[in-house]
Structure 1
Amino acid sequence: FVKRYDFDHHRMSMSVVVRNRKSGKYYVFCKGSYERMQQLSTPGSVPADYKSVADRLAKDGCYVLGLSYRELPSDWTHDQVVEFADNREAVDENLSLLGLILFRNELKDDTADAIAKLKAGDIRTVMITGDNAMCGCYIARQSGMVSSSSRVILGEMVSTTEVKKLVWRDVDSEEEYDLPAVKNLVERGEDVELAVTGVAFDYLVSMGEIKGLLLHIRIYSRMTPDGKVECVKLHMETGAVTGMCGDGGNDCGALRFAHCGVALSDAEASVVSPFTSKSKTIQSVVDLCREGRCSLATSFASVKFLVVYGLISSMLWVFQSYHTVMVSQWCWILSDGFSLLGCSYFITLAKPLKELKPVRPTSSLIGPTTLVSLFGQQVVNIIFQCFSVHLLTSEVWYCPFSPEYIDAAKWWLMADNHLSTLFFFTIIFQQHTAAWVFSFGSIYRQPIWKNYLLMGFLAVLATIDLYLLLGEPNAVTDQFRISSGTNVVGLPDIPMPLSFRLKYLGVVLGHFIVSVFFQHVVVLGPVRSYFRKKYHSDAIPMRQ
């Protein structure tokens, strides 16, 4: 060839200037969108039914390209041809239409399933493509993005004798609408999906009409790379978390600007996109949403556990200061050195659900869901802490601790009393309950019992706790200064009876039940759903 012009997204064509070695003649061949080829070709070479045939083929799912050519004058020298070929505008003039090139645009096997899963997860999917609108409509219907019962109304710019105007047309019935009629259809909630061409999209943007239609447009066709970026930006401006997936160089800009981009190829798109799919299918988008929701919910669970853990410990210090007692050092070793580290790690091992649910986890650290969960659990904790103290001090055998007889240099002796034992068991059981309840949320993650390491760790902790609480006095309970016996000098002369310890275990179980009920019913269940439906006014109205 003499000269090659690669595909230009703005011109929607590519051209080559070549020489036939046998005849020595020079030719220009140009291919691109069939609309563009109609514009570049001389009217006499374009059949009268060219547009209708191309539209019909595109509507049947074919990727349709036009092909045109031009034979250069035989008396031109090679230098003249080279000089001519340097001017692309001249190369693309006075072409004669040769015909159409058809590629079958088949869906990948898992595309329809992926679209269905995204819809089930309350995620709106739209198509932003450089392909023809008719082909886009076919793919959208085949994939389930547009239901078979929905009407598709296409907005495109049509040339008149004076100016271009925006015309909306039903792709099946060819019925035409004006812009007010289209707005009326979508506002009434009719079963209608909108599609626009890139030129129509630019017109709607320039006229300030795009924002009212943006979340009703399903198919954006013949979009340039800049148009794709603009479309993504507009969706982001609505407040919606916006993702983009694509496999070509013309998707790079949109992949980079979106909140999250998934490259479906290892080519240039993977360089600018934070995620690259190994399977090269949009099923990767489903997997990313599953993992993302699970990660967000798990991160908040970890934060809430640490916050409540700190609040429980803070209240312990308040009670200790008020009663002038102290829990033993080994109690803190078990709490901070073993329980805290283990629970904090194992909570993060939750796995995502295999399907997407139509509910999103909160993304606000100071939002109602987070604050109600935190402070609600802490209120429950304080109530049971106070009740436990009242239960102990009401016993006839209870001996009040007298700190004035303790040598200040021997501060550890302040742990040798019934209150210190009670405080230790209260905080340790409440901390373990917090790890349990904040691991709920199986609408985003697999159920807590499928987090086997966390369940095993909590079982070990529960075994240790029950052994210390109910076990007979021994070297271990003595090390923790548990007042169930009198084997250690300094412990109360009256041991904590087993009957009281069993009664206290009932309080622990009551606290566990109330905490689980509050988290499951109020924070994650029907109470949250009721208030969210009634007061959640910032939800973005969009059709899935």
Structure 2
Amino acid sequence: MPNINNTCAANDEYEVIGETQWQIIESSGDEQTINIHGFKYSKLRATLLHTVCILLCGLPYFALAYYPSYNRFKYVKCSLKTAKEICVIDSDGGWTTEKVLEVDLNLSNHRDNRLRYFMFKHNRFIWLNDQGVFINVLALNEKLTIQLLMENMSGINKRQQNELIKLYGTNSVEVEVKSYWTLFVEEVFNPFYLFQVFSIILWSLDEYYQYATCVFLLSVATCMLALYQTKQMSINLHKMAGSTSAFTVTVLRPTRMGREECVVNASRLVPGDVLVLPPDGCVMPCDAMLLTGTCIVDESMLTGESVPVMKGPPCSSSEIYSTEGHKRHTLFAGTHVMQTRFYGNNQVLAKVVRTGFYTAKGELLKSILFPKPFGFQFYKDAVKFVIFMFCIAAIGMGYSIWLYVVRGSLIGTIVLRTLDIITIVVPPALPAAMTAGIVYSQNRLRKNRIFCVSPPRIVICGKLQVMCFDKTGTLTEDGLDFHSVIPLRSGEKFGECVVEVSSLAVTSPLIQALASCHSLTSIQGQLKGDPLDLKMFEFTQWVLEEPGPENTRYDNLTPVIVKPATSANGSMQNLDDFDPFTMEIPYEIGLLRRFHFSSAQQSMGVITNVLGQPQMVYFVKGAPEKVAGMCNPETLPENFSSVLNEYTSNGFRVIGLAHKKLDRKMKWVDAQRVKRSNLECDMAFLGFLVMQNSLKPETTQVIRELHEASMRLIMVTGDNIMTAMSVARGCLMVQPHQKLVLITTGQPQTNDSRPPLCMEVVGEGAPPKLALDAYVLALEGKTWAVIRTHYPELMPVVLARGMVFGRFGPDQKTQLITALQGEDVVVGMCGDGANDCGALKAAHVGISLSEADASVAAPFTSQEQNIKCVKLLALEGRCALSTSFAIFKYMALYSLIQFFSILILYNFYSILGNNQFLYIDLVLTTLLALSLGRASPGPVLTRQSPPVSLVALSSILPLIIQVSLVLVMQVASIYLLYAQPWFKPVEGGPDVEQVLCWENTVLFIVTAFQYLIMACVYAKGWPFRQPFCTNYYMMITLVTQSVFVTVLLLCPWQWLADFMEVEAMASADSEQTMFRIYLLLIPALHIILAIAVEASLSDCEKFSRLVRMMRRRCDKAAEGDAARPLCVPSHLQLC
């Protein structure tokens, strides 16, 4: 039972400020920081707020619906102890108000009968009265030791369960599926739809019924589509979450006579319950730690790893239990337990440690429901640009007010024309147009079997600067090929390498180690497990059997037996052949207990017993350095290091093997209880297992292409550093002209001194100075830990030049990704999803190589098991980013083109007609914007990367010039019109707004050409997209609309001119005909100048370099330091 009054979070910090009126809660578990404030409801404040809302025709209610933080005006601050409402401010600045709930709680160690708590993002925060703080309920169990968890195997009684449900909540991760009406109300309060409603009302008042109707129908269709997609997403998420109330589980309950089994609904499970796992497996309803037995678990839903994992109970110790640190002993919610294995008549038991949204499955759902926002310069600049457009609209509104007031127009006309400016400058279709490129990119990725659960991250792929790769299964083949075994011969040196099992005696300790030290299991007659274990076991030519309960040859039931495939005379030897009165004892080895591999231990072990032998033997295999530390130094050969370096430097994966004969008095029960640390000492070294890990065929070519694109590449692996460096050389991640500098660490000379660091150029020794452009760094996980702790001043150098990181644990991989992100670069990570989950989630672009449609480990999942997906994502990302830039610029120009034309027409007592608005907004610009989004990615990655900032000089200067050209061409067309002798201007008046006039016709035709010109300018292909001539939709739209507008200018039919509200062709007026031809020269000149501006500024590499050079001048000092040669610091030793 948790002690509520005396519990503080091990990984959480709670800071109380301002006499408990507010509090900061920091949690390292989910990396969120929240700031909470205590409030009480105020009737006076609420009455004033509602009064103001009513007086303002209910408009503030819309703001309150979209910005819930403003609801806090209904409350007054108070202490957290007496608060009825909690205002929560998350780490991203979002505000929300949560009610404080109270419930009766009768726990033996809880002094108060009332439990106060509030919920935030499916996290429960409870009030600790003694400490005066709220804590996450998860913190109650974060100091539990493994020994404490394993003490009580009888579970909890029903009364305790009922009380703990009040404390922890039910074991439910159900996702609410909202009704269409609820979704509709939430969608309507979106500012985008509110702006649409405002625009439709405004156009209806101005008698733009056709346009308003079309926009209304489109808005309804868009809203319905959005509601359907949201509903389907909720349904899919609900199905993914499942329902724990739909099935029952068996738990243990304590009784006076011992314990009994009891069937309960899975939704009523609480921490402390002891589950009885069925032999045929099940789907885990919660996170639970194994107490007895072993399980074969399919965790592909969580990690994307298709290989089943064998899990067993931990050793009883005072070590603090954590689900991440002890995942080899933890069954996670949502994973499929395929089989359970037990000893004798014992049951397979597991203790519940987490329930509900605190389970691994719950954390996954929370990450989907409340995704971590990521800052991207493009989106930030887009918001700034929209605000800037509102400022322009304000200027235009001021001008139109002045213009119509001077004319003496009616108030209604002034209001309508002024408000109309807003709908022109800030187009309602902007958000939809911006997502077009991303949608098309996502569809193309899906065709390449790359799935994305976070579409906005596709754009981030376009600015990928640093790409990190796991080694095994990512750069190299997932499976390992057996190369050889290097046994330890009699004497002090290794013997010759062995490639045939026949060269080893079947009873030799080395062959026993190879046959028994693994985590293989038989599922439906097929061996399953780690690929390395499979290859190793295949080499021995032994067989693995999992006997039934009738076979009891080893004190108790042995879960796994291994034996030679054939006996001495060549016949198969089965377990059931054994008869002690008629034949010899068969040579078989029982695997009594397995200590599964863990990244922290870098090894695995197994306690074995040869049938008929009284003495047990412990075998271990793992990282050679780790195994050597377990062995008696006298058993290690003299050439241990030289042989190890010889093979690892050539890219082989080397595994160390050792064994130890255990005390003859040790029995099966003792073997189940002995601590691993007591076994892994004073062992005898046996030899090396050498595996060949070949590069995938696609690896080298993709690495070369990424290098050519100036992308920085990093390898971060749990494998040996020498092997990692060899693979990095082999796949050309380390360029031929670059030299690898290996940084290692040693033992401190005194207790107070820092561990020394040693640098050497691999294969050459260490020069006194290292030029940064020619050297890259390699280091191991332990060196990384030393540098982070004792040499923080070296971290910038390591992050800037580090390329190969070996022997990195899962947490260290995440640390590296986070540290790189701190250098203000976009970081990607590609791995198989097994030990890389933390790094994949932390990276801006996480790519999991998995056969699943989507892996929870990363926003991107590639079913193609190679790194070609990185190139494809980079290409699609650059295409999507440049397309989003193009569409945004086009929509901005579209707004300003119409803005200028409307203001000019206002000045000449004219305005665009309904059909003209309809054609421009719904036909011309919509088709062009959608066609722009269909651009395909370029074929190759170039060194040049797409711009990321809309407000950068290289982006804003060409845009300003283009806007200026638009205005100049429109004014020029009016001057050309006024220069015609036959032209008669519109006769003005206070409320004159003539549509059919030459001013209208000229500006409508010229602006229509300008929309086409801008689309043509921003549809350029190279270097991030295919040439726009390959975009058939774009070509068809440009050609057809250009022909239509040209016909409308030169020779419009009467019916067409009437429909489009333009001046018809005068049959006998040659001057008007020549004017129409001259007017065509303005768009022709415009397109030449516009393309020249774009080519000379936006596409000019020299101009871009000039802008970058100007930007870097302010950072000249820092740049100068980074360019200096890297001299070996005084505290670094030369190797």
> Do Structure 1 and Structure 2 share a fold, with TM-score over 0.5?
yes
Q: Aligned with 2:613: secondary structure?
A: coil
Amino acid at match of 2:607: V
Q: Does structure 1 conserve the Cα–Cα contact (< 8 Å) formed by 2:833 and 2:857?
A: no
Give the CA deviation at 1:80: 2.7
> Closer, same or farther in 2 for the Cα pair 1:161/1:73, shift >3 Å?
farther
Give the CA deviation at 1:236: 0.7
Q: Deviations over 1:425-465 (max 9, x none)?
A: 11111111111111224211111111110111111100100
- Equivalent positions of 1:56-71 (< 5 A) are 56-71=646-661
Amino acid at match of 2:686: L
2:488 equivalent in structure 1:
none
Q: Distance in 2 between matches of 1:321 and 1:508?
A: 23
The answer as to 2:678 corresponding to 1:93 is no
Q: Distance in 2 between matches of 1:27 and 1:385?
A: 92
Q: Distance in 1 between matches of 2:852 and 2:633?
A: 39
The answer as to 2:1106 corresponding to 1:523 is no
Give the CA deviation at 1:363: 1.8
Match for 1:350 among 935, 950, 961?
935
Give the CA deviation at 1:310: 0.7
> Closer, same or farther in 2 for the Cα pair 1:162/1:52, shift >3 Å?
farther
2:781 equivalent in structure 1:
198
Give the CA deviation at 1:196: 0.8
1:165 equivalent in structure 2:
756
Q: Distance in 1 between matches of 2:853 and 2:838?
A: 11
Q: Deviations over 1:16-68 (max 9, x none)?
A: 11222242431111111111111111101110111110111000110111111
The answer as to 2:1015 corresponding to 1:435 is yes
1:130 equivalent in structure 2:
718
Q: Does structure 1 conserve the Cα–Cα contact (< 8 Å) formed by 2:954 and 2:1097?
A: no
- Equivalent positions of 1:58-457 (< 5 A) are 58-84=648-674, 87-159=675-747, 164-173=755-764, 175-176=765-766, 181=768, 184-187=769-772, 189=773, 191-206=774-789, 207-208=791-792, 209-266=794-851, 270-404=855-989, 411=993, 414-457=994-1037
Amino acid at match of 2:879: C
1:25 equivalent in structure 2:
615
> Closer, same or farther in 2 for the Cα pair 1:241/1:105, shift >3 Å?
same
1:510 equivalent in structure 2:
1085
Q: Distance in 1 between matches of 2:855 and 2:615?
A: 42
Q: Does structure 1 conserve the Cα–Cα contact (< 8 Å) formed by 2:969 and 2:1086?
A: yes
1:16 equivalent in structure 2:
606
2:362 equivalent in structure 1:
none
Amino acid at match of 1:260: V
Give the CA deviation at 1:364: 2.0
Q: Deviations over 1:298-345 (max 9, x none)?
A: 112111111111111111111011111123322222111211211121
Match for 1:497 among 1048, 1059, 1072?
1072
> Closer, same or farther in 2 for the Cα pair 1:220/1:342, shift >3 Å?
same
Q: Does structure 1 conserve the Cα–Cα contact (< 8 Å) formed by 2:854 and 2:860?
A: no
Give the CA deviation at 1:275: 0.7
Q: Aligned with 1:270: secondary structure?
A: coil
Give the CA deviation at 1:481: 3.0
1:482 equivalent in structure 2:
1062
Q: Distance in 1 between matches of 2:833 and 2:660?
A: 30
Give the CA deviation at 1:161: 7.0
Q: Which segment drifts farther, 262-271 or 284-293?
A: 262-271
Higher strand residue share = 2
Q: Distance in 2 between matches of 1:346 and 1:46?
A: 70
Give the CA deviation at 1:186: 3.3
Q: Deviations over 1:372-393 (max 9, x none)?
A: 2432211110011111111111
Q: Distance in 2 between matches of 1:161 and 1:101?
A: 35
> Closer, same or farther in 2 for the Cα pair 1:407/1:205, shift >3 Å?
closer
Amino acid at match of 2:799: L
Q: Does structure 2 conserve the Cα–Cα contact (< 8 Å) formed by 1:186 and 1:216?
A: no
Amino acid at match of 1:223: F
2:530 equivalent in structure 1:
none
Q: Distance in 1 between matches of 2:955 and 2:657?
A: 60
Give the CA deviation at 1:486: 5.4
Q: Does structure 2 conserve the Cα–Cα contact (< 8 Å) formed by 1:248 and 1:267?
A: no
Q: Which segment drifts farther, 326-335 or 49-58?
A: 326-335
Q: Distance in 1 between matches of 2:707 and 2:682?
A: 48
Q: Which segment drifts farther, 265-274 or 215-224?
A: 265-274
Q: Does structure 2 conserve the Cα–Cα contact (< 8 Å) formed by 1:157 and 1:165?
A: yes
Q: Distance in 1 between matches of 2:855 and 2:743?
A: 32
Query: Aligned pair count?
Result: 523
Match for 2:643 among 53, 62, 67?
53
Give the CA deviation at 1:348: 0.6
Q: Distance in 2 between matches of 1:383 and 1:428?
A: 15
> Closer, same or farther in 2 for the Cα pair 1:216/1:385, shift >3 Å?
same
Q: Distance in 1 between matches of 2:852 and 2:903?
A: 61
Q: Deviations over 1:281-308 (max 9, x none)?
A: 1111111111111111111211111111
Q: Does structure 2 conserve the Cα–Cα contact (< 8 Å) formed by 1:346 and 1:454?
A: yes
> Closer, same or farther in 2 for the Cα pair 1:407/1:371, shift >3 Å?
closer
Higher helix residue share = 1
Give the CA deviation at 1:237: 0.7
> Closer, same or farther in 2 for the Cα pair 1:407/1:214, shift >3 Å?
closer
Q: Deviations over 1:151-190 (max 9, x none)?
A: 21211123477685221122213x246xxx4xx4134x4x
Q: Distance in 2 between matches of 1:231 and 1:392?
A: 66
Give the CA deviation at 1:532: 3.0
1:490 equivalent in structure 2:
none
Give the CA deviation at 1:92: 1.5
Give the CA deviation at 1:246: 0.8
Give the CA deviation at 1:213: 2.8
Q: Distance in 2 between matches of 1:143 and 1:407?
A: 75
Q: Distance in 2 between matches of 1:461 and 1:494?
A: 27
Q: Deviations over 1:248-290 (max 9, x none)?
A: 4221111110111001234899322111111111111111111
The answer as to 2:1056 corresponding to 1:471 is no
Match for 1:41 among 631, 642, 652?
631
Q: Deviations over 1:456-497 (max 9, x none)?
A: 11111001001111115421123223324359xxxxx97871
Amino acid at match of 1:71: K
Q: Aligned with 2:850: secondary structure?
A: coil
Q: Distance in 1 between matches of 2:875 and 2:652?
A: 33
Q: Deviations over 1:356-406 (max 9, x none)?
A: 1111112223332332243221111001111111111112222222134x9
> Closer, same or farther in 2 for the Cα pair 1:495/1:244, shift >3 Å?
same
> Closer, same or farther in 2 for the Cα pair 1:269/1:131, shift >3 Å?
farther
Give the CA deviation at 1:140: 0.7
Q: Distance in 2 between matches of 1:365 and 1:153?
A: 40
Amino acid at match of 1:448: F
Q: Does structure 2 conserve the Cα–Cα contact (< 8 Å) formed by 1:485 and 1:495?
A: no
Q: Distance in 2 between matches of 1:480 and 1:161?
A: 89
State the identity as a percent.
25
Amino acid at match of 1:200: T
Q: TM-score, normalised by structure 1?
A: 0.91
Amino acid at match of 2:1005: F
Give the CA deviation at 1:7: 1.3
Q: Distance in 2 between matches of 1:149 and 1:4?
A: 47
